[in-house]
Structures are given as C-alpha cells and as structure tokens.
Structure 1
C-alpha cells in the first residue's frame, strides 16, 4: 500500500471513530452517510457550483458517488477559475459566472435541478435561480453565503459609495487589480485541516486566482432569487478555523429553510466525500 493510500485509509478510520453514528443524526436521512452505495428511489439531477478559487474539479469524488447511484451530475467551472483560469479578465464578474452556470444547465437540457453552491458560489446560484427559476427544483447553500435584497453582494460599498477599508487593503495585493489569490489572505486550514497532507497538496496545486468582481457585483433578485425556491442550508460542523458566521448563513435560520448540520470541514467534498454525497442524495 503506498503512502497516499495508507493516509486515506487512516483518515477514514479516524473520521469514523471521531463522528460515529451520533454526528450524522443531526442531518435527517444521513444515518447511512458513510456508505457511498446507498440507493435512492428517485434519480435526480444535480448541478454543483464551486466556490472562490476552486473549479468543477473539486466535486469529482462527490459526483462519482452520486453518479454511481444513478443520479445525473453537472460540475461546471466558472470563467477565470480552474481549467478556465486563463480566461479571466478585468470585466469577469458575478454576471459572468451566472451566465456560465445558466449556459451549462440550458446546454444540457437540465430540468428539476438540485442546484448546490459552495462558499461564495452562493451568490452565483442565487443569480442562476433568479434567471432559470422554472428549472430549479431545490436550491442548496453548502457552507455558502446567502445574499439578500439588503446585502446582495459580499463586498458592499459604504454610504458614500466608496469601498470599505478592509477591501481596499486587499485590493493592493490583487494581481493586475482584479485577480484574488487565496494564499495572499488565508491559511490552508481555512479549507481543510493542516494535517490532511493529501488534500493540502491537492489544493496548493489546484487553487487558482478568482475574479474580484464576483464578490462585488450585486446579485439580481428581479425574479426573487432563492426566495420562492425550496431551499436548504448545509452547515459544516468540523470547521475549526474561521467557521462560517451568521453573516454567511443568517437567513438560513429563517422560515422556509431546511437546516442540515454535516460533520465536515469547509471543503468537505474533499475531506468527507461519502458524507457529502449522502447528504446531497438525501435532498428532495
């Protein structure tokens, strides 16, 4: 057994010992979350939208597990990220990413979509739901920012129209003024535990820059965004460094929302793909 395989086995064993069956009780329908071969009666269509600095590649293990159950899974990569990083430009923004995902859904004739967004992909999926609401059966925020009409962007201007100081300080580090680099602002433990050497190495190799305009452009609520959709918030409970705050998930505690706690790190699709796939498969 090579070192990577041995680490993977050890990590799975440690995780099973850590969470056991109790941690999964918090999320209805996840009693068998550790078993990737769980079968569901109805086959579903998932569109999985990555967050900042990631790409469609981040969903590979989760997609494989869902597909093994007969589900259809799309994992598009937004412009300027992942394998499409070379396409970034000063005008790449939230509208670009919304169009990317809408185009993928339309090109694949996807209907009754379970639309899942991670991190600031919550902005993107809100814009997609606003444009393609008739195709979206369920919108899901996986440890993601939920925008609202009063806060339609992550970075909001001050009363005088200027950007807040924290954002202007960050802009000084952006490549060419618009390319955000993860490692300029965050440690790797923001995404996965530092001791997870396999995924740390993967992220250091795979993370790309990200267009700042995806954080600053307000999302459209012209057609209600997520407001009239069946909706779920998936909250990660094993994130120990800078766990998501009410600024991210606040609306998810309100009326009309289903709330699920899952025992994963922020990038649980990498650290706990069995758990994440089982959680997604449980969604209606």
Structure 2
C-alpha cells in the first residue's frame, strides 16, 4: 500500500480531510493529512510573513521529519502550488503527484502574477490583518460553479477555516521546477468547477463528478479515486 500525504487548499487544514482519511486508511494506506502554517491548529502561527515558500517548506519538513518515501502527494486547490515546489525540492521521496482541482505554479511567478488584475484588486480589498478572510457564500456561489456544498457543509468549512496569509499569493515560485516534470502526475478535475483543467504533457487527467471540495461533499468517491491513483 501507499504512503499518502494530503495538502488542503486555501483556508483549510488537516481537518478538511476528516471524512476521507479513515476511508483511505481502510484501503490500507498510511495517511498523513497536513496543516500548513496559518491554518487549523496552526492558525496562530500565520502572519504577513507567511509565504508560498513557507508552505512548501512545511510540506518538505513534514515528509523529511517523518522519514517518508515513495509518497503519493495529494494537493487540493491552492495546495497545488506549494506541493509542486516541495516535490521539486525532494523528488526522490515522491512517487506520484496528485492534483485535486489544483493550481499549478508557474516558474518564477506568484499566483497573483497569473491572476487578472481586477481579481487581484478585488481580493486585496478584502484583506484584513494580512489575511484574506474565509469566503462568503456569495463568493463561493459565484466563483466555484456547482460546488455541491450543503448549508451544513458551508457552516463547517467556515467555522474551521482560517484566513489565507496574503503573502502566499504574492511570493513567486522558484524559477526552476523542472524536477517535477519527471514525476508521475495525475490531475483530478472536478466537473462542477468553472473552467477547464490545465493541460500538461505527461499528466493523466481524471474528471470527478463533484464540486470543488470533494473531500467534504463526496468523500467516498474521492477516496476511491485516490486509492486507484495511489496504486497506479
């Protein structure tokens, strides 16, 4: 069986995988959901100095400290950016990268560099104390298509989510991410999401019949797909 490391997207910590982790464990995998600096029970550690680089180091440190190898690194949404940087830094420990409705960083660019200026301006208007607040229902509905979240899911996400440190969107990725190209990669697109998944040579693309947060809305379906990806 596989060693699976789970990285959530913006606002999320290890708690976001609570519905998926026991299912993957039941499949026989060793599962490590991570909480990045500034989220979950590490929310108090976040600051304006928390960057994309910080989060990439969180991931490499967790993997190296635990002595993990042959890791299936699963990254959701924003988590795709620091996970890619981490995988490029320790490719010998990674057996497969699995992107879940994820952002892929561009070498030498920040996430804001790849975002339309009017969207960046709108986000910056919401920033308080160096953080982007957890999304309102209006933003969720407008920005994520058929996301599948029930009112209870939204309340759960909002109650436990933590604001995103703004530096994570402003910090440029390393100029060289080439080591990732040699790793097996799977992209799991969510059918409810707006837009098309990225197209990259050598990357398998699977479409999941779910919205943007399948670890919350479709845990059994997601666990089955992750199990299949881990075994491939």
Structures share fold, TM-score greater than 0.5: yes
Native 8 Å contact 1:192 1:200 kept in 2: no
Structure 2 CA distance for partners of 1:186 and 1:122, relative to 1, 3 Å:
farther
- Alignment counterpart, residue 179 of structure 1, candidates 102, 120, 131: 131
Tell me whether 1:122 sits opposite 2:68 in the alignment: no
Structure 2 CA distance for partners of 1:157 and 1:135, relative to 1, 3 Å:
closer
Report deviation, 1:217: 1.4
Report deviation, 1:244: 4.0
Residue in structure 1 matched with residue 195 of structure 2 by the alignment: 245
Native 8 Å contact 1:53 1:182 kept in 2: yes
- Alignment counterpart, residue 7 of structure 2, candidates 44, 49, 55: 49
Alignment deviations for residues 195-231 of structure 1 (CA, whole Å, 9 cap, x no partner): x133122112111101111122122253515222111
Residue in structure 1 matched with residue 201 of structure 2 by the alignment: 255
- Alignment counterpart, residue 123 of structure 2, candidates 170, 178, 186: 170
Residue in structure 2 matched with residue 75 of structure 1 by the alignment: 33
Native 8 Å contact 1:46 1:116 kept in 2: yes
Structure 2 CA distance for partners of 1:186 and 1:45, relative to 1, 3 Å:
farther
Alignment deviations for residues 175-209 of structure 1 (CA, whole Å, 9 cap, x no partner): 12x20013369534448435x13312211211110
Structure 2 CA distance for partners of 1:216 and 1:225, relative to 1, 3 Å:
farther
Residue in structure 2 matched with residue 149 of structure 1 by the alignment: 107
Normalised by the length of structure 2, the TM-score is 0.89
Native 8 Å contact 1:94 1:213 kept in 2: yes
Alpha carbon RMSD of aligned pairs, Å? 2.2
Structure 2 CA distance for partners of 1:157 and 1:260, relative to 1, 3 Å:
closer
**Which structure is larger by alpha-carbon Rg, 1 or 2?**
1
Native 8 Å contact 1:123 1:153 kept in 2: no
Structure 2, unaligned runs of 5 or more: none
Secondary structure of 1:183's aligned partner: coil
Alignment deviations for residues 15-57 of structure 1 (CA, whole Å, 9 cap, x no partner): xxxxxxxxxxxxxxxxxxxxxxxxxxxx001011000011111
Report deviation, 1:272: 0.7
Residue in structure 2 matched with residue 206 of structure 1 by the alignment: 160
Q: Out of 93-102 and 208-217, give the one that drifted further.
A: 208-217
In 2: Cα distance, 1:148 partner to 1:63 partner: 30
Alignment deviations for residues 101-147 of structure 1 (CA, whole Å, 9 cap, x no partner): 11110111110001111001110111111111110110111000122
- Alignment counterpart, residue 132 of structure 1, candidates 80, 83, 90: 90
In 2: Cα distance, 1:209 partner to 1:235 partner: 25
Alignment of 1:53-64 (within 5 A): 53-64=11-22
Structure 1, unaligned runs of 5 or more: 1-42
Structure 2 CA distance for partners of 1:157 and 1:122, relative to 1, 3 Å:
closer
Native 8 Å contact 1:126 1:225 kept in 2: no
Runs of 4+ aligned structure 1 residues displaced above 4 Å come to none
**In the comparison of the two structures, how many residue pairs are matched?**
227
- Alignment counterpart, residue 47 of structure 2, candidates 73, 82, 89: 89
